[in-house]
Amino acid sequence: MPAKTKFDCLLTYGWVRSTYAALVNLGQKGLNVAIGDCTRIGMSQFSRYSKKVFKYTSFLADKSRFLNNICDILDTAKPTLYLPSHDETELISEHLHIFPSQTLIPIPSIKLLQIANNKSESQEFADKIGLPTATRINYELPEQLLDLIDASRKMVIRTLKGNSAKGVYYASGPEHVYQTVKSVIENYQCTKERYPVVQEYVCGEGWGVSCLYWEGKRIAHFTHRRLREKTATGGTSTLREHQPNPLLENMAFQLLDKLGWHGLAMVEFKYDPIENKGYFIEINPRLWGSIHLAISAGVEFPYLIYLCATKGPESALSYFSKCKIRFPWRSRWYLGDCIIAANKILHLKFQDFATCLLPGNTDTYDDLCLSDPLPFLGEILYYGTNFIRHRSTNPIQDGMIG
């Protein structure tokens, strides 16, 4: 009988680009990586770097069964390290005590994740330490907004939990804001303590400062500017570039230092280049969608966190000190641009359609790789299946928003 494969890592939520980027980074280091997901279709599932695919029940559908499935997978695969990569991270952190003690799970504590994943709490923390944020409207009942909003002010309404621009709405004037908030509360059955955040719209560019911390100590960071986004309300970028920004970096460091952060996080900002002023938006406390840009530019976050967990933070710092960081450097999510292009053609914007559809204008792609071509097919099948099922390229599942 052939010897049983020893898995160095397990990654969950395998269909998505961020997990695929981590898989490739770890696989190229010679590590045996297993993938978990609630579907057999996806990017990592189709990759040559994936040594095995485990199927589990979606945590959105049944949290208890999901946790039992993960325990079974860890007992079977016996990975040295397990890295949750998406919204399942908070649930895993909350139940760390049920998992095998020999498996390293390098994620933030449940206390940190609850702050980061709650847009109201993270903004309150940023306000407390003096970071600039968009002005928030405090209210107890939606009806109060009719008297609190100026007629000319454009506002952003954001559910406390959400991702990829899901749960983000824009409204101008008191009546529009009130009706939007009321609709969000009804649609997502928000209890009073989970009413959406209402804050003033801030103009500027979208930026992200990504960091790896180990027990409060910063190991590595990477900064990027968004050049194109999949949805009009922001969120997932399809084209972005590596560009240092000392102002935003210092703001991100101050925030994560004060939190005593542990693990990966991307701190998102709006930035006004004319005034050189930044505004804190939110913390993304997991693998982020544009992580391929950082990895391909030389900041290998997945491998660095593997080194921190298995050999210690000094080993990661030593490795990182020898890395060549590419700058300027751009990455592009091609399928995301194809989705934008389809929308442009529907609105007869032919020049924009060509810009989004034609290859080029980048150094690397999130999802196109000649040495590992099948994940692009897996990505197309995943999005295509969801479009047929939900009539949307960005569907909202029960429990995802609220």
Provide the pLDDT confidence category of residue 325 given band limits of 50, 70 and 90.
very high
Statement: residue 119 has pLDDT above 60: yes
Q: Among residues 117, 125, 128, which one has the least CA distance to residue 158?
A: 117
Statement: residue 203 has pLDDT above 70: yes
Mean pLDDT of 48-53: 98
Provide the pLDDT confidence category of residue 399 given band limits of 50, 70 and 90.
low
Q: What values do phi and psi take at 126, rounded to 5? A: -60, -40
Q: Which residues share a beta bridge with 108?
A: none
Provide the pLDDT confidence category of residue 389 given band limits of 50, 70 and 90.
confident
The rounded Cα 347 to chain-centroid distance in angstroms is 29
**pLDDT for 397:** 65
- Kindly report, residue by residue over 149-189, the tens digit of the pLDDT: 988 789 999 998 877 667 899 999 999 999 999 999 999 99
- Using alpha carbons, list the distances in angstroms from residue 65 to 10, 37, 41, 88, 233: 18, 13, 20, 13, 34
Contact 287, 19 (CB under 8 A): yes
Comparing 263-267, 339-343, 366-370, the range with the smallest average pLDDT is 339-343
Q: Among residues 40, 27, 33, which one has the least CA distance to residue 11?
A: 33
**pLDDT for 53:** 98
Q: Which residues share a beta bridge with 11?
A: 35, 83
The rounded Cα 103 to chain-centroid distance in angstroms is 24
Contact 309, 104 (CB under 8 A): yes
Q: What percent of the chain shows pLDDT beyond 70?
A: 94
Comparing 145-159, 188-202, 271-285, 341-355, the range with the smallest average pLDDT is 341-355
| CA dist., res. 195 & res. 187, Å (int) | 12
Mean pLDDT of 38-60: 97
**pLDDT for 279:** 97
Q: Quick one: CA dihedral 273, 290, 388, 59, positive or negative?
A: negative
Contact 316, 43 (CB under 8 A): no
Mean pLDDT of 92-100: 97
Domains of the chain (ranges plus CATH)? 9-105 (3.40.50.720), 135-200 (3.30.1490), 209-369 (3.30.470.20)
Statement: residue 3 has pLDDT above 60: no
| CA dist., res. 385 & res. 402, Å (int) | 25
- Kindly report, residue by residue over 250-309, the tens digit of the pLDDT: 999 999 999 999 999 999 999 999 999 999 999 999 999 999 999 999 999 999 999 999
Q: What percent of the chain shows pLDDT beyond 90?
A: 83
| CA dist., res. 375 & res. 37, Å (int) | 15
Comparing 29-38, 198-207, 323-332, 350-359, the range with the smallest average pLDDT is 350-359
Statement: residue 68 has pLDDT above 70: yes
**pLDDT for 400:** 64
Q: Quick one: CA dihedral 119, 120, 121, 122, positive or negative?
A: positive
Mean pLDDT of 110-136: 96
339 vs 67, higher pLDDT: 67
Q: How much is the mean pLDDT over the chain?
A: 93
Can you give the pTM of this predicted structure?
Answer: 0.93
